[in-house]
Chain A
Amino acid sequence: NAGVTQTPKFQVLKTGQSMTLQCAQDMNHEYMSWYRQDPGMGLRLIHYSVGAGITDQGEVPNGYNVSRSTTEDFPLRLLSAAPSQTSVYFCASSYIGNEKLFFGSGTQLSVL
């Protein structure tokens, strides 16, 4: 059982480059989300989705885009990477009405 799969695990970007972080889950969860984790800051919600075709902003959405074309996939796009986006990114999913989140293994992103 794969659970929540994130790719890549590591990525280095130059300022201004764009890229997409991939997230897929095989548990048929309606809810999917992206968090970033910074030292001493806990986890902060970037964007989330409650189903295919539905997305919304979290606490720190600026500089990121998402889409949800299928139940399984929820990619996160960095449009023009900035050093402030250096962080560890986690994708998480759950059933609607149950906040027990299942997390992916994370993507460590460095923007130079």
Chain B
Amino acid sequence: ELKVEQNPLFLSMQEGKNYTIYCNYSTTSDRLYWYRQDPGKSLESLFVLLSNGAVKQEGRLMASLDTKARLSTLHITAAVHDLSATYFCAVVYSGGGADGLTFGKGTHLIIQP
């Protein structure tokens, strides 16, 4: 059974600071997704990481994947209030399809002025 653990589950930080959200998973996978969810809203795809060493960046967010360590990170640089949201990672076990996508519990991020 694939298990996906995110930490921290809750993070309050100040604007302008840097921080990293971690996503660990338990079995072999080479595909990992990051989603963002605003309060009361749906999930929006942020990044798709498809290979070991993959790095994707958009604005102040950068995601990376280390398949050997079974770890992905979502790094926030110089945080701004608009990035306040819940961030989910989702992992597919090797050989699986979308039905094998397992989500972490989410990291609730609050960025304060």
Contact = CB atoms under 8 A, between A and B. Distances in A.
Given A99-B92, A103-B42, A45 B104 contact: no
B103 A48 contact: no
B25 interface: no
| Residue among A42, A58, A97 with the highest chain B CB neighbour number at 10 A | A42
A33 B99 contact: yes
B33 A99 contact: yes
Interface residues of B, number: 21
B99 A42 contact: no
B41 interface: yes
Nearest to B44: A103
26 contacts: A31-B97, A33-B98, A42-B4, A42-B106, A43-B43, A43-B90, A43-B103, A44-B103, A48-B98, A58-B99, A92-B43, A94-B98, A96-B97, A97-B97, A99-B33, A99-B90, A99-B97, A99-B101, A101-B33, A101-B43, A101-B101, A102-B45, A104-B42, A105-B41, A106-B41, A106-B42
Interface of B: 4, 9, 31, 33, 41-45, 48, 88, 90, 92, 97-99, 101, 103-106
